Amino acid sequence: MITQSGSMSMVFLAAVAALAGGCRKGLDDQGQIGASVGEVMASADESANGGAATAMLPGLPILRTPDELKGPMWRRVLGAVMPSAYAASCTDVTFSACAAGVRTRTFDGCSIGTATLAGSATLTFSDTVACTLGATGDTVNRMASLTLTGLYGGTLAVSSPGGGQTLTQTDAGFNFDVPGMERVLTGPGGHTLFDISTATTAPIVMTGTSRANFEIVSGALVVTHNLAGYSVTLEPHDLAWASTCTCAVSGSLTGTVSGGKESGKSATVTITACGQADVTIDGDTESVVLDRCAVI
């Protein structure tokens, strides 16, 4: 039998172990590039999966709370052992009915883990009656204005300053354009930790009709690190989905860095599994977790 005193001792030891093994590097280039690639693949998946029979409703616009919003490691360990009560889950929030081609999902302080989400995601369809993609040439535009706030302060803001994301149905599958998205992470002390913009200079061309046969065969994605003053343009190579993942599970993206201290150097993102990739910049490789990619 474990007494209350013994239980608290175990919590303390777990916290010490987590602090000893939980030290991490600062935000790095590889991590930010990987996160941006994951976000774009997940957004394309949400928009396209299901075919014409669905309203193309996306899942949560933010799947993973950044570590910087979770508070100190010892608080996370205590929270896992003695969880507090939080607001209703964001998974319970649904889209409004189709109205003149528009459906909106409004978040009002609901929870994603220990963080809370506020703002809205809006889908605008060219099919103003049914809000579906039912024919070649039909489109849906995704716009977001969202703020995820950590339990101990800090925010992740997602916005669409360049026009969001647009999916167009084609004879072979879909084209996914990103006129402009931005993700800004601010720490509990008010310091901006990253400011990343994404856009496409050539449409991301997807073949297939569902996760069982989706593949990205061409396009050009530009990831801009606004704080560090550099961008990298990535071209996809055989990014193939599996029915058990919301993102590609194989393939790669390659490109070149422009601006900043790494200007002119090569960049490669190699998908190694669902939600995981090796990101290499000028021969320096790091394994990263891809934002918003998940096993289903």
Does residue 104 sit within a domain?
A: yes
3-state secondary structure the chain: CCCHHHHHHHHHHHHHHHHHHCCCCCCCHHHHHHHHHHHHHHHHHHHHCCHHHCCCCCCCCCCCCCHHHCCCHHHHHHHHHCCCCCCCEHHHCCCCCCECCEEEEEEEEEEECCEEEEEEEEEEECCCCCCCCCCCCCEEEEEEEEEEECCCCCEEEEEEEEEEEEEEECCCEEEEEEEEEEEEEECCCCCEEEEEEEEEEEEEEEECCCCCCCEEEEEEEEEEECCCCEEEEEEEEEEEECCCECCEEEEEEEEEEECCCCCCCEEEEEEEECCEEEEEECCEEEEEECCCCCEC
Does residue 92 sit within a domain?
A: yes
pLDDT at position 209 is 83
Least confident of 26-30, 136-140, 177-181, 200-204: 26-30
Does residue 217 sit within a domain?
A: yes
pLDDT at position 155 is 93
pLDDT at position 189 is 85
> What average pLDDT does this structure show over 112-126?
90
Domain extent, residue 192, equals: 28-64+87-289
Number of domains in the chain: 1
Does residue 161 sit within a domain?
A: yes
Does residue 50 sit within a domain?
A: yes
> What average pLDDT does this structure show over 140-162?
91
Does residue 79 sit within a domain?
A: no
User: Which pLDDT tens digit goes with each residue over 197-210?
Assistant: 999 999 999 999 88
The pLDDT confidence band at residue 145, using thresholds 50, 70 and 90, is very high
Does residue 241 sit within a domain?
A: yes
Q: What is the pTM of this model?
A: 0.80
Does residue 1 sit within a domain?
A: no
